[in-house]
Chain A
Amino acid sequence: MSAEPNVEPTSLDPEAKAELDAAFEDLYRTHLRDVYSYAYYRVGNPHDAEDLTEQTFLQAYRHFDRARRESDGRPLRPWLIRIAHNLASNYYRDRSRRPQTSLENADPIAARHGTEAIAEGREELRRVMEHMEGLPDDRREALIMRFALGMDNREIARAMGRSDGATKVLIHRAIKQLQEEMGGDE
């Protein structure tokens, strides 16, 4: 990889700067929900999820020009989620805590169902969330990206810095582990 010059090529051109800001605003509006959802399921409470989301977009803004140039037109969502992932890792390191996701916190689930369905499905959802909390971090993160954000294997691979194949195996193993552990509850 060649050394990047410190001078951003677009930084001296006001028109390019305006275009860059507009592109960042578009990125922000398109992916605010993705970043917040990821942060929420990683840290498990709305307050810290908001902090994490804010910090993610601040970092993204600082490096946006370079990221865009290096992306070769590929979607930037994996890059954004990777920033959130790194910040969340620091969050755990600094505070030595585990995620706090619970069914109560994840109650937007309820909005999708009628009252009866919630009553029937609540126990199953609670169990799957509890078992998710016990998964190794990388498996848990991959499942959040897949199911909460709807990312495909390639996007998840880019966000996690892994190969497509390794990501496919990771997700397969995560689901298998959940199956086995939930089966063991029976």
Chain B
Amino acid sequence: MSEPSRISWDVEHLLNDALRPIDPPERLSGRVEDTLSAVTQAAAEELSSWAEELSDSELRALRDPRNWVRPVFAVGAGGAAAGALVVLELRRRSQRQTQSRLRALGTRLR
């Protein structure tokens, strides 16, 4: 029974040697930091054209990438709401037309 445990120790020992942590190249940390900065900077610049209309706290909140999902949802929800209004208006017009046609038909029949 001693043989398997010796082999087991060997494999784990080999894995320890083979799978050493690897230091990232120096350029990588600069690259990641640049990318993160660029993401936040791009968002801030995009907002700057209409930023004058916003208060400081609103502007700060909008520069936070974690809030970007809200305008997207808002646009989506706004679009859906507008679509729903159009449908309602069309239905209302359709109902009005149907009612007036029915009234006209009733008048003619009388």
Q: Which chain B residues lie closer than 8 Å to A37 at the CB level?
A: 21-22
A7-56: which residues lie under 8 A (CB-CB) from chain B? 7-8, 11-12, 14, 17, 28, 32-34, 36-37, 40-41, 46, 50, 53-54
A76 at the interface (CB under 8 A from B): no
Closest chain A CB from B94 CB (angstroms): 36
Is there an interface contact between A143 and B15, defined as CB atoms closer than 8 Å?
yes
B24 at the interface (CB under 8 A from A): yes
Tell whether A125 pairs with B14 under 8 Å between CB atoms, given A11-B66, A148-B19, A148-B20.
Answer: yes
Q: Which chain A residues lie closer than 8 Å to B11 at the CB level?
A: 128, 175, 178-179, 182
Grouping DSSP codes into helix (H, G, I), strand (E, B) and loop, the B interface class, with mixed when no group exceeds half, is helix
Q: How many residues of A contact B (CB 8 A)?
A: 48
B79 at the interface (CB under 8 A from A): no
Query: Residues 1-37 of chain B: 1 if any A CB is under 8 Å from the residue's CB, otherwise 0?
Result: 0001001100110111111111111001101100110
A129 at the interface (CB under 8 A from B): yes
Q: Taking beta carbons and an 8 Å cutoff, which residues of A are in contact with B?
A: 6-8, 11-12, 14, 17, 28, 32-34, 36-37, 40-41, 46, 50, 53-54, 57-58, 61-62, 65, 103, 106, 108-109, 112-113, 121, 124-125, 128-129, 132, 143-144, 146-150, 175, 178-179, 182-183
21 contacts between A and B (CB under 8 A): A7-B67, A11-B61, A12-B60, A17-B60, A32-B32, A36-B24, A41-B19, A46-B25, A50-B28, A54-B35, A108-B20, A112-B20, A125-B18, A128-B14, A143-B15, A147-B12, A148-B21, A175-B12, A175-B15, A179-B11, A183-B7
